[in-house]
Amino acid sequence: MSQGVAHFAVGATLTTLLVTFLVPNARYPRVWVLAGGAWAMLPDAAKLYSHPALVALHGSRWADVFWLHFTMDRLDSTDSALFGAVMLAALLGVTALAEYRGYRALSVLRESSGPGGAE
């Protein structure tokens, strides 16, 4: 099983890509990114509250609805810290890309509105 931080990082990374490229005008994009990371961790609720339905969800293919949770648990069956670190690095890189893209879009808007800015 993957560490929780790896699940969070993958969910946040994929949500960042989704918001940046498919919904660029989304309100509160950083909140959506955090919500995407939390969404990826929902099947792990079975570790906090041992309800049969939650345990069944965590061990089923349906957990892939939560940003490929089931698949990640199978790929990283050793609970590797390295895997978690790589996923966090990917999140950092995608976040930098999204921020660059956002600031670049703002500078294009400023340049097109003239010397005084938008009035």
pLDDT digits (tens, 9 = 90+) for 30-70: 999 999 999 999 999 988 988 999 999 999 999 999 999 99
The confidence score (pLDDT) of residue 103 equals: 77
Average pLDDT over residues 80-99: 96
| Dist CA 96 CA 9 (whole Å) | 14
pLDDT band at 107, cuts 50/70/90? low
Report the SS3 class of residue 77. coil
Rounded to two decimals, the pTM is: 0.83
* Max mean pLDDT range (49-63, 81-95, 100-114): 81-95
CA 9 vs. chain centroid, Å, equals 6
Which pLDDT value is given to residue 1?
Answer: 80
pLDDT of residue 115: 60
Identify the pLDDT of residue 90: 98
Residue 103 or 81, more confident: 81
List Cβ neighbours of 61 (8 Å cut-off, separation of 6 or more): 70
The pLDDT, as a whole number, for residue 16 is 97
Q: What pLDDT is attached to residue 111?
A: 61
Average pLDDT of span 97-111: 73
